[in-house]
Structure 1
Amino acid sequence: MNMVQIIVMIVAGIVAFVAMNKQKQGAAWGQPVAIICAIIAIVAALWSTVSNLSGSGAKKAQEREVEFQKIQTRKLGQYIAQNHAGAKVIIINDPFNDGTRPNPMLEGLKDGLGSAVTIVAEVAPAVPKMENAEGPEGEMMEPMETWYTARAMDDILKGANADYDMVITCIGLPAGGLARLKGKKVAIAGGSVYEYGPAIQGKMIVAAVTYKPDAEYDDKPVPSNMEEAFNKRYLLVTPENLAEVATKYGELFKKR
């Protein structure tokens, strides 16, 4: 709500209050003026709501979410750059992004990685074509777990025909996927870490970003400090801090 809207609502409220008092004292104009001012105050409030939902407010919310996505993966990229410099990386990317629209997670990841690692390939599982399919949010689209399988992941990694020692996935791992990556290091850019505690402890998964159970969601601007912004929503789980995270957020991990 901007200052003009606030002033309009305050003035309308004051005038309505005065008019109602005058009406009680017998002034015939009191009630109509009070009603008009009440309507003005309501319109100002609705103006703010509509603006937030369909105008500048919606645009700001979208920009805020895009920036948080970049921060989510930038932090991961920086950790890998600092702790696994020289790695040869394959990135498993969003299969629904064909490169014609922004990809904030990939952008943030590459920004964080910098030149410390070599990206040897970027791959994505093939989305099955279905008649009358409406896309990733359409009712006709098959659930991702039915086609992003361990075998499909294995196929796209082999299809990259590249020498690599680390996989960074922006879409998580399919069921049974970790077993197909023996001998490789793995980093997960988002999603659940529920069953990955042992793999993180064993240093096969070198880092994973997940959402904090007590994440803060609000309409405030994204903090300019990256650490502060990241800590509002995310956790970076690594072999070094696994015990600490599991103690504080035990619900994140599968009980053994």
Structure 2
Amino acid sequence: MHIVYIALMILALIGMIVCSKKQKTNPAMQPVAFVLFVVVVISAGLLLNEMNVFGTRDGLLENEMKFYASQGTKTGDYLKTTFPGKKVLLVADPGFEKNDNVKKLADALQAGYGGEVVTDTVQLPGNQADAPMPLYMMMKAADFDAMVDKHPDCGVIVTTVGLPQDANRLKFMKQSADKRPALFLMGLPSGPVPGIMAALQSGIITGLIISNPDAKYDVPAPSDPMKAFDIRYVLVTKENADQYKAHFSN
């Protein structure tokens, strides 16, 4: 449609020029010139709108979703080289089945990883699930462990909901390195994790994603998700943890 709008603008503009030259001798050309001017304005507006220059709500949401999903691509690519062939458990908020953002994130993770990815959430006892509080503030280590126990064949856990506040009581964290699943935090969306530097250095946490200190928020997301990731985020592992330790609360 870009070409159609541009062609229409050019033709209408040419018509305006012709009419403006003839309206001195033919007054009937004046209203025609005005109509052509309206055509130029409307065509320009439609063109700019299609190019998302106005930043419509849907366009902005789609742009942000591309950045958000790029975390999945980057995480999958990292896990593919560090834990190839292992089944991945993606931990999301309740209601993930109907959440398009989570679906796109999971798809990106699977595409980047190239292996099997399953998505699940932490079930809270009683009526706590109805409480208007973030999951990480309500879940306990026992709740998180119960979810992990449902997926004994998963060798990697990627959590987007953080960890429980009593994470030091998680059963799988106390297992030997050759038995416990690898743990990856997709950013820190759910608050700080106590002792995160020590967990990174010891290998209990294999990696996490944080916001890029130099992130740009007024740019369109590149079509390449890896480039989109670099604009907004940073992958932190024990190799570069010291560089970003100021971002962690212990």
- TM-score, length-normalised on structure 2? 0.65
Within 5 Å, give how 1:63-102 maps onto structure 2. Answer: 69-85=68-84, 90-98=89-97
Say how many residue pairs are matched: 230
Aligned to 1:45: 44
Aligned to 2:184: 187
| Separation in structure 2 between the aligned mates of residue 127 and residue 193 of structure 1, nearest angstrom | 16
- Helix, strand or coil at the partner of 1:209: strand
- CA change 1:29–1:72 in 2 (3 A) is same
Aligned to 1:32: 31
CA contact (8 A) 1:215 1:234 kept: no
Aligned to 1:136: none
Q: Is 1:228 equivalent to 2:233 in the alignment?
A: no
Aligned to 2:122: 125
- In structure 2, list runs of 5 or more residues that go unmatched: 175-179
Aligned to 2:146: 158
- CA change 1:34–1:210 in 2 (3 A) is farther
| Separation in structure 2 between the aligned mates of residue 180 and residue 236 of structure 1, nearest angstrom | 26
- Helix, strand or coil at the partner of 1:103: helix
| Separation in structure 2 between the aligned mates of residue 192 and residue 83 of structure 1, nearest angstrom | 23
| Separation in structure 1 between the aligned mates of residue 18 and residue 2 of structure 2, nearest angstrom | 25
- CA change 1:9–1:179 in 2 (3 A) is farther
CA contact (8 A) 2:90 2:158 kept: yes
Aligned to 1:167: 157
Compute the displacement of 1:96 (Å). 1.8
- CA change 1:100–1:187 in 2 (3 A) is closer
- CA change 1:21–1:233 in 2 (3 A) is farther
CA contact (8 A) 2:136 2:165 kept: no
| Separation in structure 1 between the aligned mates of residue 88 and residue 146 of structure 2, nearest angstrom | 13
Aligned to 1:214: 215
| Separation in structure 2 between the aligned mates of residue 114 and residue 103 of structure 1, nearest angstrom | 16
CA contact (8 A) 1:125 1:156 kept: yes
Compute the displacement of 1:222 (Å). 0.9
CA contact (8 A) 2:67 2:221 kept: no
The CA deviation string for residues 126-166 of structure 1, in whole angstroms up to 9 with x for no partner, is 48999xxxxxxxxxx85441x44353464143244355775
Compute the displacement of 1:92 (Å). 1.2
Compute the displacement of 1:124 (Å). 0.4
The CA deviation string for residues 162-210 of structure 1, in whole angstroms up to 9 with x for no partner, is 55775311x2315625444444653112444984562445543321123
- CA change 1:219–1:100 in 2 (3 A) is closer
Compute the displacement of 1:26 (Å). 5.4
Compute the displacement of 1:21 (Å). 4.9
Compute the displacement of 1:94 (Å). 4.0
- In structure 1, list runs of 5 or more residues that go unmatched: 131-140
> One-letter code of the match for 1:215?
K
CA contact (8 A) 2:121 2:147 kept: no
Compute the displacement of 1:79 (Å). 1.4
- CA change 1:122–1:34 in 2 (3 A) is closer
| Separation in structure 1 between the aligned mates of residue 19 and residue 166 of structure 2, nearest angstrom | 71
Compute the displacement of 1:85 (Å). 4.8
The CA deviation string for residues 42-76 of structure 1, in whole angstroms up to 9 with x for no partner, is 221333356567xxx99988777666555421321
Compute the displacement of 1:27 (Å). 4.2
Aligned to 2:177: none
* The 10-residue stretch of structure 1 (11-20 or 64-73) with the greater mean CA deviation from structure 2: 64-73
* The 10-residue stretch of structure 1 (102-111 or 5-14) with the greater mean CA deviation from structure 2: 102-111
